[in-house]
Amino acid sequence: MKVSSLLSSEQVQWLEDVIKTRDLANNGCTRKEVLDIISEITGNGDKRACSNHYDYLIRTGRLQGLKANGRVVTAQAIDTDRSQITVAGQNCFFLMTESEFENQRRVNLPERKFDMLLPYFVWNLDETCLLASAGMLRVVGAKDRAKQNKNTCDSRVSITMLRCGCAAGISGPTIFLAKGKNMTCTTFNNNKLTRKYGLPHGSTVIMTPSGYMDNEAWVKVVGILAPAIRVMPVSKCVLSAQYFVIKTNSLFQFF
């Protein structure tokens, strides 16, 4: 059998459509999966013959609807769940934040000094899951798509990491949430995280039943974050003058 006659023109078009459909569903075909499809279409169990025919299709430009004429390209690993962030939600968030800043400027005088110190009191906490991954992926992708994705990150084997910092560029504690009851690995004790690995003051590991954030873990996290923020530059100075803040009802009036 000639390599060029393994698939008919209609079958080649069908193969291209299948690959494009898979890619648009973020589940792009690897080269092995493409060869399996060819083998199933033709009933030919000789994978070498299927591979040679696929190389022939690439070489002759028969797969015009695929990137690089059907050669594998790098794909970005993602999971099934999609982000729920919307333009309307972001607009609401920014308007609400700016409204609160304006209110803070009104009650914290003088306004010029408040604006200078405001970044030290705008903090953000970001929770990230470090998931087990299949590593570098290469799939056959549709030509009319900017980039390729493939669902390979649905694994639940993970560890949660919380990082926080303020708008002034100061990093707060890094907190790891690991699955288990007791931390037996001395490499990750609190002193080594700060001294040896250079993580900010207060960085630690919290053990949870699932390795994810729950109500009990959050109570522990707050108990770590609050004292850590109190020793940060500027906020340490301001909080030490709390008695004066209460009297004046103005956070920066003592300046």
**Beta carbons within 8 Å of 69's beta carbon, 6+ residues apart:** 58, 61, 62, 63
Alpha-carbon distance 212 to 99, whole Å? 33
Give the separation between CA 177 and CA 170, rounded to whole angstroms. Answer: 22
- Length of the chain (residues): 255
pTM listed for this prediction? 0.48
> How confident is the model over 70-113, as pLDDT tens digits?
999 888 776 655 545 667 878 888 898 888 888 888 888 888 88
d(CA 190, CA 204): 5
Give the percent of the chain with pLDDT over 90. Answer: 18
Collect all residues with Cβ–Cβ distance below 8 Å to 20 and sequence separation of at least 6: 65, 66, 142
Q: Where are the alpha helices (DSSP H) in the chain?
A: 9-24, 31-42, 47-59, 87-107, 111-117, 190-195, 215-230, 235-240, 242-248
pLDDT digits over 113-141, tens only?
888 888 888 888 888 877 666 666 777 88
Adjacent-strand bridge partners of 131? 158
Please give the torsion angle defined by the CA atoms of residues 210, 214, 219 and 222, in that order, rounded to the nearest 10 degrees.
Answer: 90
Residue 238's pLDDT band, with cuts at 50, 70 and 90, is: low
Closest CA to 143 of 12, 7, 16, 13: 16
Q: What confidence tens digit (pLDDT) does each residue in 197-214 have?
A: 778 878 888 888 877 788
